[in-house]
Amino acid sequence: MYKFYWVMLALLLFWAVAMPTGNQAEGYGWGYKKNSNHQPPEVGKYDTILEDNGGYYLDKSGEKVIYLTFDNGYEQGYTDKILDVLKKKDVPAAFFVTGHYVDSSPELVKRMVDEGHIVGNHSYHHPDFTKLSKKKMKEELDKLQSAVAKISDQKTMQYVRPPKGTFTEQSIKWANELGYIHMFWSLAFVDWNTNSQKGWQSAYQQVIDQVHPGAVILLHTVSEDNAEALEYMIDDMRKQGYTFKSLDDLVMKDLLPRPFYQL
């Protein structure tokens, strides 16, 4: 009897030590069902999760406005050209960078900030947020923010894009408590595979075919096609009546009465 008692106690202690603390539920991968006729995509239950926790993937005002965002995990030699086009066309953008990108391309991060773009937090080591505790998530976000602050005039960060688009309701809540707004997207395509570039016309057509009012567009700067197509995308979307705004404008819409943000 005593032997059984000690065996059971040992097992309980083992599980108490082995089970992680602050663990999250099974994660989601951001995705959506594309709509036709240039309408915003359907994201199902994800919309409610974001509404409840202050996240975004779309401007729901119905206005013909576009928010350009880029993910920067590493540099492939095309970001300078992208920045040249944005400057020429007077278009604001947000660049979500990792620690590797900041360490390897500090001059480009500084240029982003100097030219008025937002640098967003894509984490330092690009981990799956759904596998982290709140403490570890904070460390990832803080380290990236500090790295950007050391090399540029941007000292704080407001927007986060989770690596690989994975999330849980808990991870979004934690980021919100840490002062961050999750920024997903409503328009994207397979553009990150550097060995499968199809020419700038393909990238251009992917965006033009999917564009819709309030789109948050995700592009990757490692794509040569994107760098070559960007100017054509911007020109043609403007011809369709779209304007380009900053993520700050999107968030401001929720903070100010409508007549103020329309001024």
* Residue at 17 is within a domain: no
* Residue at 34 is within a domain: no
* Residue 113, pLDDT score: 98
* Domain count across the chain: 1
- Amino acid letter at 73? G
* CA–CA distance, 36 with 73 (Å, rounded to integer): 31
* Residue at 1 is within a domain: no
- Is 220 an active-site residue? yes
Among 59, 71, 191, 225, the one annotated catalytic? 71
- Is 47 an active-site residue? no
* Residue at 66 is within a domain: yes
* Residue 148, pLDDT score: 98
- Amino acid letter at 20? P
Per-residue pLDDT in tens (0 to 9) along the chain, 263 residues: 434 333 333 333 332 323 333 455 678 999 888 887 999 999 999 999 999 999 999 999 999 999 999 999 999 999 999 999 999 999 999 999 999 999 999 999 999 999 999 999 999 999 999 999 999 999 999 999 999 999 999 999 999 999 999 999 999 999 999 999 999 999 999 998 888 899 999 999 999 999 999 999 999 999 999 999 999 999 999 999 999 999 999 999 877 654 444 44
* Residue 35, pLDDT score: 80
* CA–CA distance, 132 with 141 (Å, rounded to integer): 12
* Residue at 210 is within a domain: yes
* Residue at 93 is within a domain: yes
* Residue 13, pLDDT score: 31
Q: What is the CATH number of the domain that holds 96?
A: 3.20.20.370
Among 191, 212, 220, 225, the one annotated catalytic? 220
Cα R_g (the chain), whole angstroms: 21
* Residue 255, pLDDT score: 72
* Residue at 14 is within a domain: no
Which range of residues forms the domain containing residue 82? 49-261
* Residue at 28 is within a domain: no
Question: Can you give the pTM of this predicted structure?
Answer: 0.88
